[in-house]
A and B are shown apart, each in its own frame.
Chain A
Amino acid sequence: MSPEAQAIIEARGLKRSFKVRGNSIDAVRGVDITVKAGEIVGFLGPNGAGKTTTLKMLTTLLAPTDGSAIVAGSDLRRDPVGVRRNIGYVSQAGSTASEAKAGEEIVSHARFYGIDAQTATERAKALLAALDLADVWDRKCGSLSGGQRRRLDIVMGLIHQPRIVFLDEPTTGLDPQSRANLWSHIRKLRDELGTTVFITTHYMDEADSLSDRLLVIDKGEIVAEGTPAELKKKVSGDTITLTLREEKDAVEAAGVAGLLAGADEPAVEGHMVRLHVPDGAAALPVLLTELARAGIEAIGVEVNRPTLDDVFLTLTGRSLRD
């Protein structure tokens, strides 16, 4: 099989604009997305970058203004029903009514895919057990905790055994323990069921630990693509931050540090000096020796591995946290 044949999502020039008071606003400005079967792809970007809009287009909930896409073998524009048969979508908003019982919601949802009630019940019970929800069948959805309800949403999205599942910010609002728990469930989806997972997030740690590959979106455009490790390599190495006793020391220290092999131009801020080197751990002893030889005393030193936030900062000039 050629690599192209394995692509389960193939979007070209996908674009969406909205009319707001007569003005046309481009929420997504023509994105190309390729996802291979069996991948976990993280779609990372700040709030308002166009993540949800892109996701809604790929899941047939929003018609693209322009562009095309093949999702799970069906053309998004010509055969949306074909797409719907093969995808699962777990929205940020949830999927169940508070007053409804969890088991009834799942079975009723499954019947839209032509699954009979008995098969749906068996599958639902297995999925619930796999997601640590074995005892919620007769409980009202509104009585579940935030984490439980999110996992119930995932069960709803998987009941028809879709080839791809789209998760929109699945861990927003969850406590750290529930988040870690959900991550392990998402990994299991792929490892045990072979489901392709497309997950949007604005949490860097989530994107970092969960995704095989990342797409970074900003202002409606994809600005980078690659594995977390590849993306981090785009940032020029590790960051060394020196703290000195006085500002004049900082200027001198910057001169010394700038001579390190592979260092970039050190930036001086007050009595701090910041620079990037390819290998921080190896450069540090050299730097400290050179500083001592020049008679400069550093009162603090820090080495940081690049984070996805540094990647985003390098790519866009803004922090994801903003």
Chain B
Amino acid sequence: MSFFADTWIVFSRAMKLSLRQPLWVVIGIMQPILYLTLFGPLLERVASVPGFPPGDAWVVFVPGLLVQLGIFGGLFVGFGIIAEWRSGVIDRMMVTPASRTALITGRVLRDVVVLVVQAIILTTCAYFFGLRAPIWAIAVGLVLIALLGAAFSFLSYAVGLLTKSEDAFAPLVNTVALPVLLLSGILLPMSLAPAWLQVLSSINPFKHIVDALRAVFRGELLTGEAGLGLLLAVILVILGAWIGNRVFEAQTR
């Protein structure tokens, strides 16, 4: 009971602060929009190359951009918690009877809401470029992105609180982000890759999440591909929440 009440308090405070700085939401969405406008048209030509997965260029490309948005949208929130920690806000909340889990979950929920709004904007833009996917597929896509964003947001807060320094946090996050991005076939599908690279990328769970979202956008929901991606996303959220909570609790240990 206290958990939900406390989560709501943390969420509404964080949301208010985000709404006061809408610029950050805009900056967050700018990158995928730039990819969409400046890189997407290139793909329309590449789509005829052998090895290109089924579906037209937009059905392949937009899921990739959405996953990228989910990963990066979540990954960098740790910067915010470092600033909050430095200004004493975290200790101030820790010293109240509030549920520890609520302190992190409320913040993650805010990030998820921001992310979903960004994803809706991105998908709407993509529609005008020529994306055609069923409405239910886009809804499933948003759920998948919300899960992914939540997982990364939990993890990012955990790493932020562990390092407590932007100088340590930034390189760490970039070191993780780049290989994850390159090996997930977000920009170009991995089916174009040589065999060794395909093997390497198949170890990367995010590749399967991108594949799942592409399948969903093609209208295939009840396939192994889609199921595996959704399952992985759920596992990631559970893992992220578990780690995030452990780190928050360990703050007072």
Among B12, B84, B95, B253, the one with the most A-chain Cβ atoms within 10 Å of its Cβ is B95
Query: Of residues A63, A111, A156, which shows the largest number of chain B Cβ atoms within 10 Å of its Cβ?
Result: A111
For the complex formed, measure the closest distance between the CB of A57 and the CB atoms of chain B, giving whole angstroms. Answer: 10
Query: In the complex the two chains form, what is the Cα distance from A92 to B91 in whole Å?
Result: 11
Quick check: is B223 within 8 A (CB to CB) of the other chain?
no
Among B6, B16, B89, point to the contact of A96 (Cβ < 8 A).
B89
Contact B17–A109 (Cβ < 8 Å): no
User: Is A161 interfacial (CB 8 A cutoff)?
Assistant: no
Chain A window 88-99, contacts with chain B (Cβ cutoff 8 Å), 1 for yes, 0 for no: 010111111111
Q: How far is the CA of A122 from the CA of B86 in the complex (A)?
A: 29
Cβ of A223 under 8 Å from chain B? no
* Residues of the A chain whose Cβ atoms lie less than 8 Å from the Cβ of B84: 97
Residue of A with least CB distance to B9? A111
Q: Give chain B interface residues in 1-27, CB to chain A under 8 Å.
A: 5-6, 9, 12-13, 16-17, 20-21
B98 touches A (CB below 8 Å)? yes
Complex contact B91–A97 (CB within 8 A): no
Cβ contacts A77-104/B at 8 Å (1 or 0 each)? 0001100110101011111111110001
Residues of the A chain whose Cβ atoms lie less than 8 Å from the Cβ of B252? 60-63, 80
Whether A113 pairs with B96 at a CB distance below 8 angstroms is yes
Residue of B nearest to A100 (CB): B17
A-B contact count (CB 8 A): 75
With an 8 A cutoff between CB atoms, is A108 at the interface? yes
Question: Which B residue sits closest to A141, measured CB to CB?
Answer: B87
Residue contact A85 to B97, C-beta cutoff 8 Å:
yes
Rounded to whole angstroms, the CA-CA distance of A89 and B17 in the bound complex is: 23
Report whether A94 and B17 are in contact in the complex, using a CB–CB cutoff of 8 Å: no
Q: Known: A60-B252, A108-B12. Contact between A97 and B17, CB under 8 A?
A: yes
Query: Which chain B residues lie closer than 8 Å to A112 at the CB level?
Result: 6, 9, 93, 96-98
Instruction: Report A's interface with B, CB cutoff 8 A.
Output: 59-63, 80-81, 84-85, 87, 89, 91-100, 104-105, 108-109, 111-113, 153, 156
Residue contacts A-B, CB under 8 angstroms, 7 given? A89-B92, A89-B95, A99-B17, A99-B20, A100-B16, A100-B17, A104-B13
